[in-house]
């Protein structure tokens, strides 16, 4: 018994939904279709019609519903292909839309009058595809939920000081809006089931926010639709639309802070036909307006009239066929200098519905030029209307129904994306010193995929760079020096709508300056050890000699480890390794004020710790010249001939001394302060050196150096022996 009753209830609900649908009261039909679908989710007819109804409020849901209806029942309606085309077009699926329109076209007879309209829809999809694939660098921003609602907001009008916004809404706050739009007795509901339009004003709080809108009810809002058009004469007068004789243009004046009862413009402007929008030039002498009075197809065209000596409007003249089309041409608006006309049209090369167009005035020919589509994303596949410039002309307002809005038409701002200044320095990732002479190339694309490239080179003294780039995109930044690429980084530049935007960006790159004639080599260590190897002595002697020849040069001694042990352990081990080199150089006569040490532990590996060979490369000490900020690496003087210090002179790991032995041809014997005895033999041409050392605690070492090759044998105090043979070059 329950099932037949449930089915009967569903049929009754569906009947109610269809009634509103047939009246084109789509908003009222949706709740009833949803009730049906809650009980019968696969009801193809309810899905199909709900999908059509949703096209004015939620395009993506509309697509889901219509497509599901067709899958469930391919012939859910004779015109299902038409509606699939419409919904695909609104959702930017232009190729699919064309295919559906063409499929629908095959179902029509040769003389069917719908073929012409269908051909136009196909052309709209083709136009939209072209515009969408060639976007402009424009930032479109919704004014937000304080202004926009789930209903329709349009006709933005901004005051001369940019602090007051007047606009038109069909939302729930309109005068007399009480009860459901599905209630035919609700006097605030129009024939289409939507609330009547009312005019509101909102005061600006800051660049991003507005106060709660206030309804300009009473004098300005009549029984039907009322819409804002323009404020002029220092915001003391207003043009507005009122639903009177199919729609006419009125004006109101401000008195004691409020608007007076609107008065209708004269019969040269208004008629029994539809007049929808207008614009009066700043000098008050010309009015441009849209009317259907002179159209055979009852569509809107744009006309203009001038003030007569008596002060009223004269006989109107058409803007001509360059501007006006067989379709609706509406919403005229001029730039302050009067040289650019903006208007909305369903004709020309529209992407679908109304698009915003602009035309430039030819002062020589005294004619308006061919209209240009403002392009995507100013225009969309749906209606885009009421384009109005801000007082300074730096941005614009418009009304549009687009994906991501709050529902139906919303008011948006249109900002052209501007350049941003990117400036900063380039630093070495390793030691945070600046790198002069670095080339930075910022590579990106415009919205239409046209390549962009900006370049600068860091300054010799400061390492600074500065580029001016188009904002609102991610750049690939190639960093190179002396023609060699160091690395490429990504850098996202946020949208800027002002040319004064400055962004600080420093780049840290893996670069080591090897331009010096005398680059310091690394020295290496055994696992878990910090004793100096015999082969390290030659490099320490080399460093000592260079430091003595360049008294203004200071160095940082940096200890590193492999990853065998804990981070804490390795930080200590790295410091011990740095200290071993530090002590050697200090005892060779280098002032400790010229030396500094640091440990990086395992944190800055030279190679991955995945093999014994790579781990050996990480057990090291590196030597880096310390430069002041902005200072370039100086050209170093070579060590004095024959003046390189041997340190302890022994080459023995861990040995030290205060009196350096001078390497001169012949033989020498030296006893160090710690008791170490050193014997040295140097050949006449200085290409072969033999050093024997015996420490006070029994340590011994023998080192032979010839043509850069080191052959060493050592024995420490415990008797442990080590043999090393290496080519230091």
Cβ neighbours, 10 Å, residue 344 = 29
> How far are the Cα atoms of 210, 235, 538 from residue 258, in angstroms, in the given order?
20, 12, 93
Q: What is the pLDDT of residue 659?
A: 33
Q: What is the pLDDT of residue 650?
A: 35
Using the predicted structure, report yes or no on whether residue 674 has a pLDDT greater than 60. no
638 falls in which pLDDT band (50, 70, 90)? confident
8 falls in which pLDDT band (50, 70, 90)? confident
Residue-wise pLDDT for 106-165, tens only, equals: 999 989 999 999 999 999 999 999 999 999 999 999 999 999 999 999 999 999 999 999
Q: Are the beta carbons of 227 and 244 closer than 8 angstroms? A: no
Cβ neighbours, 10 Å, residue 426 = 24
Phi/psi for 556 (5° steps) reads -105, 130
Using the predicted structure, report yes or no on whether residue 255 has a pLDDT greater than 90. no
CA–CA distance, 544 with 541 (Å, rounded to integer): 5
Residue-wise pLDDT for 508-529, tens only, equals: 998 876 655 456 889 999 999 9
DSSP 700-714: EEEEEEETTEEEEEE
Q: Where are the alpha helices (DSSP H) in 229-304?
A: none
Q: What is the pLDDT of residue 641?
A: 59
CA–CA distance, 640 with 324 (Å, rounded to integer): 90
Higher pLDDT, 713 or 437: 437
Cβ neighbours, 10 Å, residue 97 = 27
Arithmetic mean of pLDDT, 175-200: 70
Arithmetic mean of pLDDT, 453-473: 92
DSSP type of residue 683: -
Q: Are the beta carbons of 219 and 262 closer than 8 angstroms? A: yes
Using the predicted structure, report yes or no on whether residue 361 has a pLDDT greater than 80. yes
185 falls in which pLDDT band (50, 70, 90)? low
Higher pLDDT, 604 or 315: 315
Of all residues in the chain, what percent carry a pLDDT higher than 70?
Answer: 84
Arithmetic mean of pLDDT, 33-54: 96
Six token digits for residue 608: 């991955």
Arithmetic mean of pLDDT, 414-438: 89
Q: What is the pLDDT of residue 520?
A: 82
Which of 542, 536, 547 has its CA nearest to residue 644? Answer: 542
Arithmetic mean of pLDDT, 424-439: 86
Six token digits for residue 606: 């030279």
Exposed e or buried b per residue across 206-217, where buried means at least 16 C-beta atoms within 10 angstroms of its C-beta: eeeebeebebbe
Arithmetic mean of pLDDT, 561-584: 93
Q: What is the pLDDT of residue 375?
A: 96
Using the predicted structure, report yes or no on whether residue 182 has a pLDDT greater than 60. no
Q: What is the pLDDT of residue 193?
A: 78
Higher pLDDT, 653 or 594: 594
Using the predicted structure, report yes or no on whether residue 178 has a pLDDT greater than 60. no
Using the predicted structure, report yes or no on whether residue 3 has a pLDDT greater than 80. no
Average pLDDT, the chain: 86
Strand partners, 706: 688, 709
Of all residues in the chain, what percent carry a pLDDT higher than 90?
Answer: 64
Arithmetic mean of pLDDT, 681-698: 65
Q: What is the pLDDT of residue 346?
A: 96
Residue-wise pLDDT for 304-329, tens only, equals: 999 998 889 999 999 999 999 999 99
654 falls in which pLDDT band (50, 70, 90)? very low
660 falls in which pLDDT band (50, 70, 90)? very low
What contacts 194, CB < 8 A, 6 or more positions away?
27, 151, 152, 170, 181
Region class of 538: left (phi > 0), else alpha (psi between -120 and 50), else beta: alpha
221 falls in which pLDDT band (50, 70, 90)? confident
């Amino acid at each position: 018994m329950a099932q037949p009753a449930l089915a009967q209830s569903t049929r009754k609900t569906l009947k109610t939904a269809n009634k509103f649908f047939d009246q084109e009261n789509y908003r009222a039909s949706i709740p009833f279709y949803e009730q049906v679908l809650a009980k019968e989710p696969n009801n193809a007819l309810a899905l199909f019609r709900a999908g059509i109804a949703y096209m004015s409020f939620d395009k993506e849901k509309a697509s889901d519903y219509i497509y599901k209806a067709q899958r469930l029942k391919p012939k859910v309606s004779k015109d299902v292909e038409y509606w699939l085309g419409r919904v695909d077009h609104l959702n930017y699926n232009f190729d699919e839309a064309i295919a559906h329109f063409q499929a629908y076209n095959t179902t029509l007879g040769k003389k069917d009058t719908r073929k012409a309209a269908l051909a136009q829809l196909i052309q709209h999809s083709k136009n939209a595809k072209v515009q969408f694939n060639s976007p402009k660098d424009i930032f479109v921003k919704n004014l937000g939920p304080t202004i926009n609602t789930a209903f329709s907001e349009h006709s933005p009008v901004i005051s001369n000081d940019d602090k007051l916004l007047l606009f038109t809404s069909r939302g729930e706050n309109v005068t007399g809006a009480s009860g459901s739009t599905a209630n035919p007795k609700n006097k605030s509901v129009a024939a289409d089931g939507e609330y009547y339009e009312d005019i509101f004003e909102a005061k600006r709080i800051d660049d991003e926010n507005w106060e709660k809108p206030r309804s300009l009810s009473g004098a300005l809002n009549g029984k039907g639709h009322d819409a804002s058009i323009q404020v002029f004469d220092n915001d003391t007068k207003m043009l507005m639309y009122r639903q009177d004789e199919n729609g006419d243009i009125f004006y109101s004046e401000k008195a004691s802070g409020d608007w007076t009862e609107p008065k209708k413009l004269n019969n040269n402007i208004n008629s029994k036909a539809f007049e929808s929008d207008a614009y009066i030039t700043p000098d008050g002498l010309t009015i441009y307006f849209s009317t259907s009075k002179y159209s055979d197809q009852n569509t809107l065209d744009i006309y203009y009239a001038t003030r007569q000596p008596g002060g009223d409007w004269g006989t109107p003249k058409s803007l001509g066929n360059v501007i006006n089309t067989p379709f609706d041409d509406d919403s005229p608006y001029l730039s302050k200098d009067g040289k650019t006309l903006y208007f909305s049209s369903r004709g020309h090369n529209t992407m679908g519905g109304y698009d915003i167009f602009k035309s430039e005035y030819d002062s020589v020919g005294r004619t308006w030029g061919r209209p240009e589509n403002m392009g995507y994303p100013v225009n969309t596949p749906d209606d885009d209307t009421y384009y109005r410039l801000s007082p300074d002309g730096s941005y614009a307002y418009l009304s549009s129904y687009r994906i991501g809005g709050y529902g139906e038409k919303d008011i948006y701002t249109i900002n052209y994306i501007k350049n941003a200044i990117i400036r900063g320095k380039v630093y070495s990732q390793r030691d945070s010193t600046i790198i002069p002479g670095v080339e930075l190339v910022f590579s990106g694309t415009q919205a239409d995929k046209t390549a962009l490239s900006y370049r600068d080179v860091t300054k010799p003294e400061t390492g600074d760079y500065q580029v001016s780039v188009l904002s609102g995109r991610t750049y690939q930044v190639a960093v190179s020096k002396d023609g060699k690429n160091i690395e490429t980084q990504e850098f996202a530049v946020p949208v800027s709508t002002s040319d004064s935007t400055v962004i600080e960006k420093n780049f840290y790159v893996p670069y080591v300056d090897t331009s010096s004639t005398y680059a310091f080599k690394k020295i290496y260590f055994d696992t878990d050890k910090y004793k100096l190897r015999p082969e390290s002595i030659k490099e320490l002697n080399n460093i000592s000699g260079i430091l003595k020849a360049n008294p203004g040069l200071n160095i940082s001694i940096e200890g590193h480890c492999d990853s065998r042990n804990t981070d804490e352990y390795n930080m200590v081990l790295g410091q011990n390794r740095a200290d071993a080199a530090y002590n050697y150089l200090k005892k060779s006569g280098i002032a400790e004020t010229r030396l500094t040490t640091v440990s990086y532990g395992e944190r800055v590996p030279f190679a991955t710790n995945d093999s014994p060979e790579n781990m050996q490369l990480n057990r090291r000490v590196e030597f880096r010249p310390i430069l002041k900020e902005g200072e370039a690496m100086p050209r170093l003087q070579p060590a004095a001939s024959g003046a390189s210090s041997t340190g302890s002179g022994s080459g023995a790991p861990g040995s030290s001394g205060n009196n350096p032995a001078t390497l001169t041809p012949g033989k020498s014997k030296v006893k160090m302060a710690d008791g170490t005895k050193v014997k040295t033999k140097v050949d006449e041409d200085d290409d072969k050196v033999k050093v024997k050392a015996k420490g006070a605690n029994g340590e011994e070492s023998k080192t032979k150096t010839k043509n850069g090759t080191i052959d060493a044998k050592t024995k420490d105090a415990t008797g442990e022996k080590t043999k090393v043979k290496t080519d230091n070059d």
